[in-house]
Amino acid sequence: MSIAVHTVIACFTIISICCGAPLKPSNTCGYDVCNLGKPDKLNVHIVPHTHDDVGWLKTVDQYYYGARNDIQHAAVQYILDSVIPSLVENSDRRFIYVEIAFFWRWWLQQTEEMRNTVRQLVNEGRLEFISGGWSMNDEGVTHYNSIIDQHSLGAEFLRDQFGQCGRPKLGWQIDPFGHSKQVASLFAHMGFDGLFFGRVDVQDYTERFKAKTMEMIWKGSANLGEDSWLFSGILPRVYEAPPSFCFDVHCQNEPIKDDPQLHDYNVPERVQAFIDAAHSQATGYATNHIINTMGSDFQYENADEWYKNLDKLIKYVNAQQGNGSDVNIFYSTPSCYLYALNKANRTWTTKSDDFFPISFNHHGLWNGYFTSRPALKRYERYSNNILQVTKQLNALSNVTLRHAFFPLSEAMGIAQHHDAVSGTEKQHVADDYAQRLAQGIDSATYVINEAYRKLLPKYNHSLTIPAQFLCQFSNISECLPIERQASFTLTLWNPTIHPVQHIVRVPVTQKYLIRSPTGSTVAADFMSISDQVKKIPGRTSSAQYELVFQAPLPALGFSTYYFESKSSLADNKRTEKSKLDQAHNEACVLQNQYLRVEFDQQGNLKNITNQERNFTVQFSSQGFYWYTSFPGNNSRPEFQASGAYAFRPLTPNPLPVSSSRNITCTYMDQVQTALIVYNQWCSQEVRLYDQANTVEIEWIVGPIPIEDGLGKEIIIRYDTDIRSNQYFYTDANGREVLERKRDYRPSWNYTVYESVGGNYYPVASRIWIKDNQTQMTVLTDRSEGGSSMHDGSIELMVHRRTLHDDSQGVGEPMNETAYGTGLVVRGRHVLILETPQLSASHHRPTAQQLFMSPLYTYALPGISYTDYSNNYRQTWSSLNESLPYNVHLLTFDQLAANVFLIRVEHYFELNEDATYSKSAQIDLDSLFNTLGKIKDLVELTLAGNMPLSEMKRLVWQTNDHQSSNLKLTKSNTLKSTIVSLNPMEIKTFQITIE
Ligand SMILES: *[C@@H]1O[C@H](CO)[C@@H](O)[C@H](O)[C@H]1NC(C)=O
Ligand SMILES: *[C@@H]1O[C@H](CO)[C@@H](O)[C@H](O)[C@H]1NC(C)=O
Ligand SMILES: [Zn+2]
């Protein structure tokens, strides 16, 4: 475990103690040492860089070592091995490094001498960490919780090893396939001064280049105002060098041949070509500074080749200034380029929308990845759920085992990479990501057990506790270890700071009597598991039933339910009449206190009535459709195929997956269901739980048939009479919501080439449509692509199987298989039908509970209920007062004994709800109720690597005469433990307790 845990302030001293050799003072890094060029010249910032994917065509470790070079020649260890001596050789040279997952791997293997050399380079600003996340996270399908975590993980490493000079100052998202406002806002709150990226829509690029608006002030959040603004720049060639100026060992460009006595002397033409390229690039940019990214994927394995040629290029290009050339070139970094723009003393245009979806040609958009690899997307979200619970349990039980679940933090950091959760990697790499998450979950399970060892026993803390285990196949209604057991326990940890009413589903082989934490018998439905679930490939369970019941769970705490086999009970004679009422292929109605859901006898959803608000939404259709994937050879934009990155349908109208369907309605006490089977590979179960004001739709899709030679992209569509008038709404990274309009882009004059694909947006957690009376919100359990192709309609792409590569590099079709057949995926949508005014108060907490749902751990104590309840606590909450409904505890991490990292957030937007959109107060002391009193409290930047009081961001002026500096007067060190949160505000604290 190399990531040492220090307090923010102490870490710098620890570094100088730990490193033996005294370091030069660290004030030679940062903006002050930037070369700002010459005011009367065109200044070209030469930025040597490598783009190291944390897995893509090869796994992260294959890339690190340079294994499987037959797939792609790439070896990160040699890049760092090679760059460091090149930097030492010439103090003018610069290099930036971005992906900490790789740097950390390399750092572990270095001698102290090498580490000191690197520290010196960092302290002198010659090697600079940029962005500094564990990976360069995707922006479309990631969740904000995990973006923050993965940046914090990298930032913590850099802070502990390099101190102030290692702190990344800007975002560097040069490869992700679209850019999110939420990410811009998060980056601003991490203290970044700017952001550079490589990919925007080709139409947008063309207009911006013409208008010289490639660089702008991005207003990241309407809720948070100036604090969320981020200077953002689009790089000229994604992240490549100017044509013919790639001097990497992988490139074939002409070196600078500068000895006139040798054959092929080429300095004059190379210099002229460079000067021409600089002038041509400058036509699209606003100032007399431009950036040249000199590098690309996995470049600099032989750094000397690059640097030797760049040294010469700089020398000879600048020599032309004597002959009147206006081009001035020099080694630089993105932060020095940013600083030069800041010093340009000019105003910038602003942007308030986002960069989604974006096209790479007229017929190819980066929109298929919103759905690609739906199982990996869900697994990543589920892993985050476990990670957050593990952090809480580790902290609240004070077992100080943070290092022990580092493998899960690391795996999650890697999973955020733009070819990981995005689904755009090769199959064997996707398998590696899943394996890392699985091993991470194993490490977390150990910590969960250690924590419960302290929390469960009532009196005797040396009492052994029965091993707690996860049933990770619950998503296919399988939990082998509890099958046929006479008794078992289920402990549910609620990671939210509010009590929740949770619906529990436990797959079982037989009936059980369930005892609640207070000993009372729990009313549970004994439901048959459908054939559609039982036939999911790979399911080996003999469980035929699921026990379904409602569990009220305490805030930030647990409840344990004890299951006792009915046959093992003395009173098993008492026959229990399971109230089973079924209807096949008849019109049926699911109804509870709030909602009424009606189906016709053909299995069509006809309408849903909100009885409380007294309105009915009529459905003209609801169910599964497919788009045929475009089967092109990519030789021209018109022949663009649908693949891992790109979704392109052959025709704009999706076909229903079947012409008829079967419906079976089952009415029980806790839940009423309509199982609708469309065909062999598409089904959904519509569920209405007692007392619930949401409708749950659990879908199963796959194996998607491809015997007809056609790729298929499966959507679930909800067609209603809501008059949505072209508008729909999708979230950014599970948080703030953006308005979308069909066939429209807010910031440029949009020409439609792809009528369907151009309207697909990432849906990380929710999508809705509305009119004056009604809003229909659909919540998802993972990221999916979504749209509204017709008024009143919402569609979400849940699964896809394509047979052609889309030529964006992965070199494989998006054709997932498992158990010898096409992959089967099961997932959930939650439907909320409300008035627009009251919708947020439903979808905000419901979505929060979907992504932070209770953690199920089972155990086989092998003792009677009486013995169990005598020895073990069956319910416990770490809170003793109720906390504001609109506040979410985002992070509860223990850094060291008595030192904690806390993030609290307001999770409503401005003006979303009459009550909950007001600002909220929370007393942080209440979170430490069971741990102790708060002794010290330091507010940190969002990534947790710097006191907020030390954050000084560069100030920018917009062309509408606003300054990004308006709100910089904030109180940083809080005198009291009471924190005030405005809508969508996240605050991060390091807390020391007595
Ligand atoms: C910046 O520009 C403004 C006018 O646009 C001018 O008043 C000011 O002096 C300039 N500042 C510097 C440092 O050049
Ligand atoms: C946590 O445990 C450490 C010893 O490992 C102890 O010094 C500290 O006081 C404990 N803190 C709490 C809040 O129990
Ligand atoms: Zn990449």
816 shares its domain with 676? yes
Q: How confident is the model at residue 572 (pLDDT cuts 50, 70, 90)?
A: very low
Residue 15 confidence (pLDDT) above 70: no
858 shares its domain with 803? no
Residue 909 confidence (pLDDT) above 60: yes
Q: What is the pLDDT of residues 197-225, one digit of tens each?
A: 999 999 999 999 999 999 999 999 999 99
Contacts with 71 (C-beta within 8 Å, 6 or more apart), sequence order? 57, 58, 62, 426
Amino acid letter at 726?
Answer: Q
Going from the Cα of 55 to the center of ligand 3, the distance in angstroms, rounded, reads: 9
Asked, for residue 491, whether it belongs to a domain, the answer is: yes
587 shares its domain with 736? yes
CA distance 400 to 341: 45
746 shares its domain with 873? no
Q: CA distances (Å), 682 to each of 545, 625, 644, 799, 822, in order? A: 21, 10, 22, 11, 13
With the most atoms of ligand 2 within 8 angstroms of its CB, the residue from 393, 394, 396, 398 to mutate is: 398
Residue 249 CB-density burial (10 A; 0-12 exposed, 13-18 middle, 19+ buried)? middle
Residue 275 confidence (pLDDT) above 80: yes
Tell me what the pLDDT averaged over the chain comes to. 94
Q: How confident is the model at residue 17 (pLDDT cuts 50, 70, 90)?
A: very low
User: Taking Cα atoms as reference points, which of 714, 711, 715 lies closest to residue 801?
Assistant: 711
* Total domains in the fold of the chain: 4
Asked, for residue 824, whether it belongs to a domain, the answer is: yes
Atom of ligand 2 nearest to the CA of 898: 11
What are the φ and ψ backbone dihedral angles of 795, each rounded to 5 degrees? -130, 145
Going from the Cα of 146 to the center of ligand 3, the distance in angstroms, rounded, reads: 18
**Contact 20 CB / ligand 2 (< 6 Å):** no
Residue 4 confidence (pLDDT) above 50: no
Candidate from 249-258, 634-643, 970-979 with smallest mean pLDDT: 970-979
Q: How confident is the model at residue 966 (pLDDT cuts 50, 70, 90)?
A: low
Candidate from 3-12, 241-250, 371-380, 603-612 with smallest mean pLDDT: 3-12
175 is catalytic: yes
Our CA angle for 749, 751, 757, nearest 5°, is 120
Q: Tell me which ligand sits closest to the C-alpha of residue 898.
A: 2
DSSP notation for 516-569:
-TTSPBPP-EEEEPPHHHHTSTT------EEEEEEEEE-TTEEEEEEEEEGGGS
Q: What is the pLDDT of residues 218-249, one digit of tens each?
A: 999 999 999 999 999 999 999 999 999 999 99
**Contact 214 CB / ligand 2 (< 6 Å):** no
783 shares its domain with 891? no
Q: Is the peptide bond before 537 cis (omega within 30 degrees of 0)?
A: no
Residue 19 confidence (pLDDT) above 50: no
- Is residue 702 within 8 A of residue 826, CB to CB? The reply is no
pLDDT average, residue stretch 11-29: 42
Tokens of 84: 């460091």
Asked, for residue 23, whether it belongs to a domain, the answer is: no
**Contact 934 CB / ligand 2 (< 6 Å):** no
Amino acid letter at 369?
Answer: Y
**Contact 400 CB / ligand 2 (< 6 Å):** yes
**Contact 898 CB / ligand 2 (< 6 Å):** yes
Candidate from 79-88, 338-347, 566-575, 629-638 with smallest mean pLDDT: 566-575
Residue 462 confidence (pLDDT) above 80: no
Residue 455 confidence (pLDDT) above 90: yes
- Is residue 947 within 8 A of residue 940, CB to CB? The reply is yes
Can you give the CATH number for the domain in which 981 is found?
Answer: 2.60.40.1360
Can you give the CATH number for the domain in which 159 is found?
Answer: 3.20.110.10
pLDDT average, residue stretch 502-512: 97
Residue 342: domain span: 41-368
Contacts with 921 (C-beta within 8 Å, 6 or more apart), sequence order? 884, 978, 979, 980, 981
75 shares its domain with 164? yes
What pLDDT does 960 receive? 86
CA distance 174 to 167: 19
Domain boundary among 368, 384, 400: 368
Q: How confident is the model at residue 394 (pLDDT cuts 50, 70, 90)?
A: very high
Percentage of the chain surpassing pLDDT 90?
Answer: 92
Going from the Cα of 287 to the center of ligand 1, the distance in angstroms, rounded, reads: 15
- Is residue 354 within 8 A of residue 181, CB to CB? The reply is yes
What pLDDT does 568 receive? 61
923 shares its domain with 857? no
Asked, for residue 394, whether it belongs to a domain, the answer is: no
Work out whether strand 42-48 and strand 605-610 pair parallel, antiparallel, or are unpaired: unpaired
With the most atoms of ligand 2 within 8 angstroms of its CB, the residue from 453, 461, 898, 931 to mutate is: 898
Contacts with 169 (C-beta within 8 Å, 6 or more apart), sequence order? 30, 130, 191, 192, 193, 335, 338
Q: Tell me which ligand sits closest to the C-alpha of residue 63.
A: 3
CA distance 532 to 543: 14
Active-site residue, from 138, 149, 160, 175: 175
Map residue 170 onto helix, strand or coil: strand
332 shares its domain with 240? yes
Q: Which residue has the higher pLDDT, 10 or 869?
A: 869
User: Taking Cα atoms as reference points, which of 505, 553, 613 lies closest to residue 841?
Assistant: 613
Q: Tell me which ligand sits closest to the C-alpha of residue 900.
A: 2
Using CA positions, which residue lies closest to atom 3 of ligand 2? 897
94 shares its domain with 209? yes
Residue 914 CB-density burial (10 A; 0-12 exposed, 13-18 middle, 19+ buried)? exposed
Q: What is the pLDDT of residues 924-952, one digit of tens each?
A: 999 999 999 999 999 999 999 999 999 99
Q: CA distances (Å), 519 to each of 550, 866, 894, in order? A: 15, 9, 33
Residue 570 confidence (pLDDT) above 60: no
What pLDDT does 141 receive? 98
Tokens of 168: 């990344």
What are the φ and ψ backbone dihedral angles of 237, each rounded to 5 degrees? -135, 50
pLDDT average, residue stretch 434-449: 98
Using CA positions, which residue lies closest to atom 11 of ligand 2? 898
Tokens of 18: 């730990």
Q: Positive or negative, the Cα torsion across 138, 140, 143, 145?
A: positive
Say how far residue 147 (Cα) sits from the centre of its chain.
5
Going from the Cα of 184 to the center of ligand 1, the distance in angstroms, rounded, reads: 28
User: Taking Cα atoms as reference points, which of 22, 929, 767, 957 lies closest to residue 396?
Assistant: 929
pLDDT average, residue stretch 246-272: 97
CA distance 787 to 929: 45
Asked, for residue 920, whether it belongs to a domain, the answer is: yes
Q: Tell me which ligand sits closest to the C-alpha of residue 399.
A: 2
Going from the Cα of 897 to the center of ligand 2, the distance in angstroms, rounded, reads: 5
pLDDT average, residue stretch 751-772: 98
DSSP state of 584: E
88 shares its domain with 113? yes
Asked, for residue 406, whether it belongs to a domain, the answer is: no
Using CA positions, which residue lies closest to atom 6 of ligand 2? 897
- Residue 179: beta bridge partners? 355
Q: How confident is the model at residue 7 (pLDDT cuts 50, 70, 90)?
A: very low
What pLDDT does 583 receive? 86
Residue 569 CB-density burial (10 A; 0-12 exposed, 13-18 middle, 19+ buried)? middle
CA distance 954 to 339: 8
634 shares its domain with 556? no
- Is residue 217 within 8 A of residue 956, CB to CB? The reply is yes
**Contact 932 CB / ligand 2 (< 6 Å):** yes
Atom of ligand 2 nearest to the CA of 398: 1
249 shares its domain with 356? yes
Atom of ligand 2 nearest to the CA of 932: 13
Can you give the CATH number for the domain in which 550 is found?
Answer: 2.60.40.1180
Asked, for residue 828, whether it belongs to a domain, the answer is: yes
Asked, for residue 646, whether it belongs to a domain, the answer is: yes
Going from the Cα of 31 to the center of ligand 1, the distance in angstroms, rounded, reads: 20
**Contact 930 CB / ligand 2 (< 6 Å):** no
Sheet strands (E) in 95-247: 95-97, 127-129, 170-173, 194-197, 215-219, 229-234
Going from the Cα of 567 to the center of ligand 3, the distance in angstroms, rounded, reads: 57
Can you give the CATH number for the domain in which 612 is found?
Answer: 2.70.98.30
